[in-house]
Structure 1
Amino acid sequence: MTKTLLLDKYPIYSLSLNKSEIKEKSVDEIVKYFIQMIEQHPIATNIAVFDHFKHTKNLGGEIDKNILNAKNVVFCFGAAIPNSKILAVRPRSIGIVEFRDSFSIEFMEAPNPKLQEVMLEWVMKLKNS
């Protein structure tokens, strides 16, 4: 798992997995895995699956030639609204991108360190499944 700054300001966590490393063999199988993790969590709520690849393709937008599929699992951990600004960093999203021989799992750092750890655990558990 690596942490980088996207556009010099967004803390992004990324994990690249060879298809041979995990039991899930498609973006949809990985999406199902994350939905299961969300549904098992005591405060997380699944919101939607966004087919980013289809959306961008339908717009005629640019897609890296190496990307075969791309979806986001959108969910929220929000158990409190301590101020109006917290809504700017909710809901959460985990991106799953498929390449020929690998998947890339990406998400932006959560403002709550405990919930950040939950997302890290989910991704690492996928690797160890």
Structure 2
Amino acid sequence: MEKITFMENYSIYTKTILKANSTYQTVNEIMEHLKQKATAHPAAEFIAIYDHYQHTKNLENGEIAEGIIDAKNFIFCFGVRIPNPNTLALRPRSIGVVEYEDKFVLSFMEAPMENANKTMIEWVESIENK
């Protein structure tokens, strides 16, 4: 995974996975895989799958970059404690999955908990065949 600064302010992790290097061939298959990962994790809870592509496609002025054929967010939370009210501004977490004809691009915003970042990296990297 690569850690980058996006829009000058946001630290995100991103990874491109060729479909030829993955068992998964659709965004929906990856969403199911991530749901299984979250369900099996002792501190994670699956919340929803947001169909960002369909939402944007239905907007009168919606724009989708050329080549994107699907885009969804896997929404979940690692909320193991609430030390103060501001903590909720950092939750829940989301992993974005964008599908192109030959590849997927997965990304997520850096979490303030290192263990959460490590887990999300492991989940994303588990999509690529080793």
Q: Same fold (TM over 0.5)?
A: yes
Structure 1 Cα separation of the partners of residues 15 and 77 of structure 2: 21
- Number of residue pairs the alignment of both structures matches: 129
Structure 1 Cα separation of the partners of residues 18 and 126 of structure 2: 15
1:92 matched residue in structure 2: 93
1:35 matched residue in structure 2: 35
2:48 matched residue in structure 1: 48
Structure 2 Cα separation of the partners of residues 84 and 127 of structure 1: 37
Q: Aligned with 1:75: secondary structure?
A: strand
**What do residues 39-95 of structure 1 show as CA deviations (whole Å, max 9, x unaligned)?**
000010000000000000111301101111000000000011001111111000000
> Alignment identity in percent?
45
Q: Aligned with 2:126: secondary structure?
A: helix
Q: Is the 8 A contact 2:73 2:96 kept in 1?
A: yes
The reply on whether 1:62 has 2:86 as its aligned counterpart is no
2:113 matched residue in structure 1: 112
Structure 1 Cα separation of the partners of residues 113 and 129 of structure 2: 24
2:4 matched residue in structure 1: 4
The reply on whether 1:21 has 2:21 as its aligned counterpart is yes
Structure 2 Cα separation of the partners of residues 99 and 45 of structure 1: 28
**Which aligned segments of 4 or more residues in structure 1 are displaced greater than 4 angstroms?**
none
Structure 2 Cα separation of the partners of residues 5 and 88 of structure 1: 20
Superposition TM-score, scaled by structure 1 size: 0.97
Give 5+ residue unaligned stretches, structure 1.
none
Structure 2 Cα separation of the partners of residues 7 and 97 of structure 1: 18
